[in-house]
């Protein structure tokens, strides 16, 4: 299992490097595909669809493609209209196929669009910012860096349970260590790439702040994904990534940190 997990992790890192460094259409279409796969994983867990694509799920998928299309052609001002249109389409399916679906499934279908497709799209949007080629890595640095630092600190000195019923292995000490570790990683990263940034002045403090806040939010994302799985009695969202589970199992914290880093970067930097 360890070897499988390690190999899968290396492949993921290589793919991330290729797509994020390339940016543009490569990153865009990769994220759209990842979003659709992640939505399918969530839809299957939340019983929006089973082995075959249901009309309700199809409306969600088409909504995600439409949303990404607006991003690609820089028509962001129409996004709210598109999202309302998706909600209307979902309700259309709900009422004209009644009683095939329950209201909870309709809400889950719209939730999947917002939670997976919209949130993940901020990786692409961050990449398109000024200094985006460097800022985008903070999304992964604060989420995965926080996870690693929290694990190490928790193993060493963790005593107080952060969420005993939901995730009994996570500790308050580990959480503090994860946030502090992510902030340090952000500061070091800024010091290394500082001379390549367009922003005036030292960005060490700003990058440390972004990573600290992002790390704090990433833990919410991780716990939220775990809560959904526990509610539906599943261990993993999928089996796409050997040793890791599905897309949502690997990107649960990234989903939350991507929009946080994007908006903080537009405000702070």
Are 90 and 119 part of one and the same domain?
yes
Query: Mean pLDDT throughout 217-221?
Result: 95
Domains held by the chain: number: 2
Domain assignment of residue 255, yes or no: yes
Give domain status of residue 9, yes or no. Answer: no
- Together in a domain, 119 and 185: no
Q: Do 172 and 87 share a structural domain?
A: no
Q: Which of 128, 150, 165 is the last residue of a domain?
A: 128
Backbone angles phi, psi at 143, to 5 degrees: -80, -55
CA-to-CA dists, residue 157 to 83, 152, 165, 170, 185, angstroms: 46, 9, 20, 11, 21
What pTM was estimated for this model as a whole?
Answer: 0.95
Residue 8 counted as domain residue: no
Q: What is the pLDDT of residue 201?
A: 80
Q: Are residue 146 and residue 102 in the same domain, yes or no?
A: no
Over range 151-159, report the average pLDDT: 91
Is residue 216 a part of any domain in this protein?
yes
Residue 174 lies in a domain: yes
Looking at the predicted structure, is the pLDDT value of residue 237 above 90? Answer: yes
Range of the domain at 83: 22-128
* Percent of the residues in the chain that have a pLDDT greater than 70, as a whole number: 99
- Assess whether 108 and 137 both reside in one domain: no
Q: What pLDDT is attached to residue 169?
A: 85
The last residue of a domain, from among 71, 103, 128: 128
Answer with the residue of higher pLDDT: 9 or 225.
225
Whose CA is closest to 48, among 119, 135, 110?
A: 110
- Residue from 49, 88, 44, 51 nearest 66 by CA: 88
Q: Give the single-character DSSP code of 163.
A: E
- Pair (140, 266) in one structural domain: yes
């Amino acid at each position: 299992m360890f070897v499988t997990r390690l190999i899968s992790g290396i492949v993921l890192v290589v793919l991330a490097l290729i797509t994020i460094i390339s940016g543009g259409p490569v990153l865009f279409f990769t994220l759209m595909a990842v979003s659709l796969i992640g939505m399918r994983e969530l839809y299957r867990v939340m019983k929006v669809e089973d082995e075959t694509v249901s009309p309700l799920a199809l409306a969600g998928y088409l909504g995600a493609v439409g949303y990404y299309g607006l991003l690609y052609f820089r028509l962001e001002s129409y996004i709210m209209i598109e999202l309302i249109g998706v909600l209307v389409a979902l309700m259309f399916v709900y009422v004209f196929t009644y009683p095939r679906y329950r209201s909870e499934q309709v809400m889950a279908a719209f939730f999947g669009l917002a939670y997976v497709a919209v949130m993940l799209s901020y990786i692409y949007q961050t990449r398109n910012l000024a200094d985006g080629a460097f800022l985008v890595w903070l999304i992964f640095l604060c989420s995965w860096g926080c996870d690693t630092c929290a694990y190490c600190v928790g193993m060493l000195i963790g005593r107080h349970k952060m969420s005993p019923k939901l995730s009994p292995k996570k500790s308050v000490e580990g959480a503090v260590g994860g946030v502090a570790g992510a902030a340090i990683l952000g500061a070091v990263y800024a010091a290394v790439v500082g001379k390549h940034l367009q922003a005036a002045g030292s960005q060490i403090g700003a990058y440390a702040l972004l990573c600290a806040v992002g790390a704090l939010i990433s833990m919410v994302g991780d716990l939220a994904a775990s809560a959904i799985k526990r509610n539906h009695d599943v261990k993993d969202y999928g089996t796409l990534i050997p040793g890791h589970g599905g897309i949502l199992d690997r990107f649960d914290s990234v989903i939350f940190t991507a929009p946080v880093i994007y908006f903080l970067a537009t405000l702070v930097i």
